């Protein structure tokens, strides 16, 4: 079984490029050039240099001793939270800004939900001196004020998405409309492993530095490259894609994908796409998608703004369908409890997205000698307000 994208842009039956003709020239240019550009020695050199000196990579692979003791297994945390801007998102934006420059683009657009990808995009645009416009749902702008301020300080223009439900899905629609209106000078930095081909593959490749590092870091610490499990939370699925990438074709490595169950998978307030979704088309790709029987896209819910996307990247849809990955759904309450536990056992305040991945240890029993690598995708500073309200701190 092949878990990578094929020549036509599909992962099994998922993926492709279902885009209006207006977007075709841009997406086609990217499709023809992305692999070639990424393989250029100059590109690689610049990308790796920035990841090292600017982002602060490699991110540590930290053996979580007290957490491991509590669950009687061996848990390693891949510390993406220690990256510049506080999450894995920057790996992709560094890659894409270098791509945009090589394609001769002068104007950058992005969508953002919680604001993490928006901040990561505004950051690299400042770094490269490029114009930056970030689309963000009007409702998200109101509930993520610090990230809006960060983007503005970094010189980005934050444009409210006023259509539909005024959250991430609508911000993505607005970014796509902007790209239709500006087809020549603009590059769209998509923040997750979603969108028309080649985006899911390109984003995955930029994020694959996560699993590349895990391999040699685990070799140093455990004497072997492959853990028994790799675990990551999934909204669109970019940190998960990067965490799994180099293990996809290692059959002895089990893959766990953690979705947000919100108030409960069947509560009507959930974002567990692998359970609730049906094959459909969103933002240019065929994937599992939460929708009505009539094919209208529905609004998901999670306490975590980074996981409430109604779709999932096409690679993950394929991993779910083939059974290569085990999908687990974690509720708001379970995630919040696990987040607080990590604070108190390890002195690390995780992003609420990440807390979902940490909550699996209450649900699933591992063997004492299992080696489990969890992607600690982001830090929790951005979520303090939610933590304060939830725990009445």
Strand blocks (E) in 315-391: 325-331, 371-376
The CA-atom distances, in angstroms, between 119 and each of 111, 148, 152, 195, 308 are 10, 8, 9, 20, 18
Considering the complex, state which of residue 177 and residue 364 has its C-beta at the smaller distance from other proteins: 177
User: What Rg value do the Cα atoms of the chain yield, rounded?
Assistant: 19
Report the nearest approach of other proteins to the CB of residue 279 (Å).
8
Report the nearest approach of other proteins to the CB of residue 32 (Å).
12
Which strands make up the sheet holding 186-189, listed edge to edge? 157-161, 131-137, 107-112, 186-189
389 annotated active-site: no
Report the nearest approach of other proteins to the CB of residue 22 (Å).
5
Considering the complex, state which of residue 102 and residue 177 has its C-beta at the smaller distance from other proteins: 177
CA 5, CA 9: separation in Å to the nearest integer?
A: 6
Report the nearest approach of other proteins to the CB of residue 390 (Å).
30
Chain residues binding other proteins by CB under 8 A are 16-22, 24-25, 163-164, 169-170, 173, 176-177, 180-184, 278-284, 289, 291, 293-298
Element (H, E) at 380: none
Considering the complex, state which of residue 196 and residue 378 has its C-beta at the smaller distance from other proteins: 196
Of 68, 78, 80, 111, which one is the catalytic site residue? Answer: 111
On whether the CB atoms of residues 290 and 317 are closer than 8 A, the answer is no
Report the nearest approach of other proteins to the CB of residue 178 (Å).
9
Distance between start and end Cα atoms, the chain: 49
Phi, psi of 227 (to 5 degrees): -80, 175
Considering the complex, state which of residue 18 and residue 63 has its C-beta at the smaller distance from other proteins: 18
Cα–Cα nearest to 297, from 324, 315, 277, 316: 277
Report the nearest approach of other proteins to the CB of residue 270 (Å).
18
Which tokens is 50 given? 């920035």
Considering the complex, state which of residue 9 and residue 58 has its C-beta at the smaller distance from other proteins: 9
377 annotated active-site: yes
On whether the CB atoms of residues 308 and 300 are closer than 8 A, the answer is yes
Give the pairing of strands 61-63 and 74-79. Answer: antiparallel
Of 78, 89, 105, 286, which one is the catalytic site residue? Answer: 89
On whether the CB atoms of residues 74 and 370 are closer than 8 A, the answer is yes
- Dihedral in degrees, nearest 10, Cα atoms 38, 39, 43, 45: 130
DSSP state string for 157-213: EEEEE-STTSSHHHHHHHHHHHHHH-TTTEEEE--SS-SSTTHHHHHHHHHTHHHHH
Report the nearest approach of other proteins to the CB of residue 275 (Å).
18
Which tokens is 188 given? 């769209």
Considering the complex, state which of residue 12 and residue 60 has its C-beta at the smaller distance from other proteins: 12
Considering the complex, state which of residue 68 and residue 172 has its C-beta at the smaller distance from other proteins: 172
274 annotated active-site: no
On whether the CB atoms of residues 128 and 136 are closer than 8 A, the answer is no
Considering the complex, state which of residue 38 and residue 275 has its C-beta at the smaller distance from other proteins: 275
Report the nearest approach of other proteins to the CB of residue 83 (Å).
31
Angle between helix 209-222 and helix 199-207 axes, rounded to 10 deg:
30
The CA-atom distances, in angstroms, between 310 and each of 14, 115, 273, 284 are 15, 17, 7, 14
Which sequence positions are flagged as catalytic? 89, 111, 377
């Amino acid at each position: 079984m092949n878990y990578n994208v094929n020549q036509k842009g599909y992962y099994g039956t998922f993926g492709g490029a279902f885009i209006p003709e207006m977007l075709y020239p841009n997406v086609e240019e990217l499709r023809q050039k992305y692999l070639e550009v990424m393989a250029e020695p100059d590109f690689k050199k610049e990308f790796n240099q920035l990841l090292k000196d600017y982002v602060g990579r490699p991110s540590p692979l930290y053996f979580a001793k007290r957490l491991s003791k509590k669950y009687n297994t061996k848990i390693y945390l891949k510390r993406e939270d220690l990256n510049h801007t506080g999450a894995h998102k920057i790996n992709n934006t560094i890659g894409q800004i270098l791509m945009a420059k090589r394609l001769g683009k002068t104007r950058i657009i992005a969508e953002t939900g919680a604001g993490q990808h928006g901040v990561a995009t505004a950051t690299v645009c400042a770094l490269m001196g490029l114009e930056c416009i970030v689309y963000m749902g009007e409702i998200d702008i109101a509930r993520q004020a610090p990230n809006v301020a960060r983007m503005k300080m970094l010189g980005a223009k934050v444009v409210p998405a006023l259509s539909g439900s005024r959250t991430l899905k609508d911000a993505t629609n607005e970014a796509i409309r902007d790209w239709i209106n500006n087809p020549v000078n603009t590059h769209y930095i998509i923040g997750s492993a979603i969108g028309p081909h080649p985006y899911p593959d390109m984003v995955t490749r930029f994020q694959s530095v996560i699993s590349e590092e895990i391999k040699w870091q685990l070799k140093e610490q455990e004497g072997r490259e492959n853990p028994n499990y790799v675990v990551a939370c999934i909204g669109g699925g970019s940190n998960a894609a990067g965490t799994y990438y180099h293990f996809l074709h290692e059959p002895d490595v089990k893959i766990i994908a953690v979705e947000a169950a919100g108030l409960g998978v069947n509560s009507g307030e959930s974002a567990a796409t692998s359970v609730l979704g049906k094959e459909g088309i969103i933002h240019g790709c065929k994937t599992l998608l939460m929708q009505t029987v009539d094919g209208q896209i529905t609004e998901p819910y999670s306490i975590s703004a980074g996981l409430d996307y109604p779709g999932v990247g096409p690679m993950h849809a394929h991993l779910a369908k083939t059974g290569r990955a085990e999908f687990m759904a974690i509720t708001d309450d379970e995630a919040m409890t696990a987040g607080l536990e990590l604070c108190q056992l390890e002195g690390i305040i995780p992003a609420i997205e990440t807390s979902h991945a940490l909550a699996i240890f209450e649900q699933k029993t591992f063997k004492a000698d299992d080696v489990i690598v969890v992607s600690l995708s982001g830090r929790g500073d951005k979520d303090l307000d939610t933590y304060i309200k939830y725990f009445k701190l």
